[in-house]
Structure 1
């Protein structure tokens, strides 16, 4: 909290009481890319990527640098032989990881490097295994995916994971065995889906800009 700040834009209304300030507070959510504002057709996205309607598509994403032990996770998922599960790993700018995964799992999983169409991948998929970073979490909530958080880091990520688990139906796994069990049992109730939608803010960027422009005009 800094002197002289007129307005704080925060990630969620439930965080308002965490900020001790007399400044204006707007609970807009975290800004995400414009493509997440669009409601992509799930079936069309699945057809584009060649995913069968009977498959459960599981994304593995660790941000732009692929910061997720993807080899360890893919090995565990394949060892568990989960029925109709398609694993899609997106390594971001980590080309070395993409090459490593392609060599080891290219015949049994989809391996991508950096992609511009992440909103479409998320729209077509059923679940995502990822870290609990703020931006990724905001994108997942905007997309309505089942969220599985793997080994959140102490501090900010653990706080994010606890919030997402309590209010958005996210599942947190601290081992591959726990992760596999979550996927075996994963079903999102209508109540949890509604809660997830309540905390999704795909229009955050637009709302922030609108608010700033109104303040400037005054």
Structure 2
């Protein structure tokens, strides 16, 4: 008998929620499953959809405002839940009637408590599962203890959920799901890096789907001090792409600037080092592709703990100032690139290639109490 899984995601608040959803959808081909994905913001009509679309402009140009929004939402989660409940209720109930889901999975914090409110008030009994899309500094909105289960990517996020009052037994740590194309195939394994005079260092600079960060200064520091080639991904930030092309044109073919690309995995595979902000999705895609990362910043709020997480497990290093880029690279390449190669090895040992499949299997076995109590942790 087939199962219907309704996934509440988001198309406009960065690209992470969408990427996570795609990674799960890849794994249902071998199962008798129907998946319907909906942008939660679309359930609230144009008003709520415009709120979702404001994420990009705010995070690109007003990080202080984003921090204020994040902090206020964290202080009053019940108010946020009630507001969203009011605007999505009718469309959500209509969606339930049309799709008749057996399971609801939410991968966006803004729709956990609001949907649980609706289900509770309407007396509707459908298993509800939250999949946390952040690593360490999670919203209270992720941790609604009424959810049947919360799937956490890390032990750190699980511990935060417990602080918010979620019973430990209702939280399953199954890793962070990454789309399959980011994992290197046997024909393209990651090799240890060996410094070679005359062989330029291949650097990738990216900053998540919204293209935030001081990518120009990073590129200039690299190109002025090292024999390197630099590829930059400006994401959806069209203005930044144009500015970068104009400012870095003097370096000629040593620099390539890309907009939003669906082939980011190929850029990672061909790079020795990637510079990125602390976006959880971008970080884990780099880990999966076995590309050492240098983290140059993080959005206030949900990304603040991510750089420390990467350093804790030796998956990358932090570089807080562009002035520190030169000594940071020199440190990585010293002693025949010992530190860089240690990061490569740590990523190989850390990443769980089966996280997406583990999550799908967990959802499909929700009605099996024996499986739920015996499911093992895939992340340590």
TM-score range (shorter-chain normalised) is 0.7 to 0.9
The aligned counterpart of 1:29 is 175
The aligned counterpart of 1:116 is 262
Q: Is 1:195 paired with 2:323?
A: no
Structure with larger RCO (C-alpha < 8 A, sep 6+): 1
Structure 1 residues 71-99: Cα deviation after superposition (integer angstroms, max 9, x where no partner): 1211222222x02x111101111122112
The alignment partner of 2:293 has SS state of: strand
* Residue 122 of structure 1: how far off its partner (Å): 0.9
The aligned counterpart of 1:166 is 312
* Residue 3 of structure 1: how far off its partner (Å): 2.8
Structure 1 residues 121-167: Cα deviation after superposition (integer angstroms, max 9, x where no partner): 11121111010011111111111111100033444333111111111
The aligned counterpart of 1:2 is 144
The alignment partner of 1:26 has SS state of: strand
**204-213 or 101-110: which moved more?**
101-110
Check 1:3–1:152 CA distance in 2 against 1; reply closer, same or farther (3 A cut). Answer: closer
> How do 1:49-68 and structure 2 match up within 5 A?
54-68=199-213
Check 1:78–1:189 CA distance in 2 against 1; reply closer, same or farther (3 A cut). Answer: closer
Structure 1, gaps ≥5 residues long: 44-52
The alignment partner of 2:347 has SS state of: helix
| C-alpha contact (below 8 Å) 2:295/2:317 kept by paired residues | yes
Q: Is 1:138 paired with 2:284?
A: yes
Check 1:191–1:59 CA distance in 2 against 1; reply closer, same or farther (3 A cut). Answer: closer
**Partners of 1:122 and 1:41 in 2: how far apart?**
16
In the TM superposition, structure 1's runs of 4+ consecutive aligned residues that sit over 6 Å from their partners are: none
TM-score, reference length from structure 1: 0.83
The alignment partner of 1:158 has SS state of: coil
Q: Is 1:105 paired with 2:244?
A: no
The aligned counterpart of 2:84 is none
**Partners of 1:8 and 1:57 in 2: how far apart?**
39
**Length, aligned pairs only:** 208
* Residue 36 of structure 1: how far off its partner (Å): 2.0
* Residue 185 of structure 1: how far off its partner (Å): 1.9
* Residue 189 of structure 1: how far off its partner (Å): 5.8
More helix by share: 2
* Residue 15 of structure 1: how far off its partner (Å): 4.6
Structure 2, gaps ≥5 residues long: 1-142, 190-197, 370-380
| C-alpha contact (below 8 Å) 2:292/2:340 kept by paired residues | no
Give the one of 296, 299, 322 matched to 1:176: 322
**Partners of 2:301 and 2:261 in 1: how far apart?**
29
The aligned counterpart of 1:50 is none
> How do 1:28-47 and structure 2 match up within 5 A?
28-37=174-183, 39=185, 41-42=187-188
The alignment partner of 1:3 has SS state of: coil
**Partners of 1:204 and 1:126 in 2: how far apart?**
25
